[in-house]
Amino acid sequence: MSIIDCHVHLNCYPGVGHNRSVERVKKLLEVMNKNGINYSLILSSYKSDAYRPSAAEIIEITKKYENNLGVVAGFTIDNHGEEDLNNYKKWLKDGVIKGIKLYCGYEHYYPYDKGYQRVYDMCVEYDAPVMIHTGDTFSNTAKIRFSHPLTVDDIAVDNPDLKIVMCHLGNPWMVDCQEVIYKNKNVYADISGLFIGDFTQSVKSYYVNKIKELLSYIGDPHRILYGTDWPISDIESYIKFVQSLNLDQRESDLLMFGNAKKIFRL
């Protein structure tokens, strides 16, 4: 596998083209093909509506592309219930989904809220990671104290067998994120969603420096995963961005596919 993007969405925002999920998938495959991406994990949202397909819908739509697309199911305390949890458990067991994503911040609960414990337990049972939104949000009703990366330390300590992927490196609290990763061997992070669309030279150098600093502090290239947050972020600019990190071949292979392959058992 050459590149695995561990973080994309099928959400359509009003005013954005390709506003049907099936067309969205075709668009995604087209962009992946153009940029040498072999596999993407599609994360279902914190709720399902006309703009946000549910995990079940995404599974249905992507079934015929299983060699190139995988699904991570979104879970929230407020919008998901018993039936969803039962489905998720079955899908984890059968490998139909590769992990579960939480939307702390978008919903107003800390990662250590007991309402999430069943998700952690089933992820441990089936050796699948939980992905947790950390840092800035794409919504003005979100409350960011719930998405601060330091709050992940509690569940990392209390669930030592749980693999945790912090999304977006806790941006802008990357120093907190790097300490949580460094301290807890079961914590990883993806580099998705650092900027919307394309990005300017100054923004690029800002994040290049931050990521280099984070990698040196952690001192372990096995902990960071490539992801974009497409369609919010642009896939082509993300590839260019990663190239400007000037990683050696081994580090680059781990970031671009090796770590994701292992963590999500792809």
For Zn ion, the binding residues (CB under 5 A) are 229
Identify the CA nearest to 148 among candidates 129, 165, 169: 169
Closer of 105 and 247 to Zn ion (Cβ): 105
Judged by beta carbon, residue 107 or residue 229, the one nearer Zn ion is: 229
**Contact residues for 29 (Cβ-Cβ < 8 A; gap 6+):** 65, 68, 69
CA distance linking residue 157 with residue 126, whole number of Å? 19
Closest approach of Zn ion to the CB of residue 226, in Å: 14
Residue 130, φ and ψ in degrees, nearest 5: -105, 135
> Angle at which helices 174-183 and 201-218 pack, to 10 degrees?
20
Task: Please state, as a whole number, how many other Cβ atoms lie within 10 Å of the Cβ of residue 103.
Answer: 26
Which residue, judged by CB position, is nearest to Zn ion in the bound state? 229
Of 62 and 89, CB closest to Zn ion: 62
Taking the complex as a whole, how short is the minimal distance between the CB of residue 170 and Zn ion, in angstroms? 14
Compare residues 13 and 205 and give the one whose CB is closer to Zn ion.
Answer: 13
Measure Cα distances from 179 to 6, 32, 143, 175, 211 in Å.
22, 33, 22, 6, 13
**Which residue's CB is nearer to Zn ion, number 99 or number 247?**
99
Tell the smallest beta-carbon distance from residue 213 to Zn ion (Å).
Answer: 23
43 three-class SS: strand
Q: How far is the CB of 104 from Zn ion (least distance, A)?
A: 13
CA distance 20 to 86: 27
Determine the residue type at 254: L
To Zn ion, the closest distance from the beta carbon of 87 in angstroms equals 21
Task: Quote the least distance from Cβ 250 to Zn ion, whole Å.
Answer: 27
In angstroms, the Cα distances linking 243 to 186, 213, 240 are 27, 16, 5
With respect to Zn ion, which residue has the nearer C-beta, 42 or 247? 42
Rounded Cα–Cα distance for residues 194 and 206 (Å): 11
Q: Which is nearer to Zn ion, 101 or 223 (CB)?
A: 101
The minimum distance between CB 6 and Zn ion, in angstroms, equals 10
